[in-house]
Amino acid sequence: MIFYKQERLGLFMDGSNLHTAAKVLGFDIDYKRLLGFFSEKGLLIRAFYYTALVEEQDYSPIRPLVDWLDYNGYSMVTKPFREYTDSAGRRRVKGNTDIELAVDVMELCDRLDHIVLFSGDGDFRCVVEAAQRKGVRVTVVSTIRTNPPMIADDLRRQADNFIDLKDIAPYVMRDSSQKTPSENAQPAADLQGDFALIEKVGEKKTAKASGEKAA
């Protein structure tokens, strides 16, 4: 990890991609610890968290997490996530926040020295390259400790630095033995219900980026 104390940092988290990576590695992220960990690396200007919210549900398991993050130092960017049937009768899913993340990165490039992107999605390679052309260093956080790797090879090659999520797990993971709740404790919601749909898209992207045919 190469960080400089005088750098202005911006964190950009692809929520479903980051959640999937941590889940496959076998731990839950403590977002308060994660924010603290990167706050020590430089001058943290902004931390964005991007996620889709499944519509037409009386209760969304993601909502408590979204609300907690919103009150605890994160800038939330959400978008409706829909299932629909196309003209051929096939079930499709629609809704991700890739465009919103890319736009925010480009808008803030002039105010940041170092961007930390939490995603392995190869679609972000062009965004990373564009940020670098503006003089911004880019670190990508994902993992190669899964089969297939969660990060697309071209994205990893484009980044200035790569951090494997497993390597920083001891500093950002939730302590499962800590049972006593507090008023500032982030919700330990079961996110699988909402993220299951979002992950269908993410898994296909990962398989495509790894040269495999998605199921």
Domain borders along the chain are 8-209
Task: For residue range 93-102, list pLDDT tens digits in order.
Answer: 566 899 999 9
pLDDT band at residue 63 under the 50/70/90 scheme = confident
User: How many CB atoms within 10 Å of residue 3?
Assistant: 16
Options 3.40.50.1010, 3.40.50.300, 3.30.70.20, 3.40.50.1860; which CATH number does 8-209 get? Answer: 3.40.50.1010
Give whichever of 50-54, 95-99, 111-115, 180-184 has the largest mean pLDDT: 111-115
Q: Which residue has the tokens 């052309």?
A: 133
pLDDT score of 87: 73
Measure the CA–CA gap between 148 and 19, rounded to whole angstroms: 16
pLDDT band at residue 62 under the 50/70/90 scheme = confident
pLDDT score of 101: 97
Residues in CB range of 5: below 8 A, 6 or more apart: 41, 42, 43
pTM of the model: 0.81
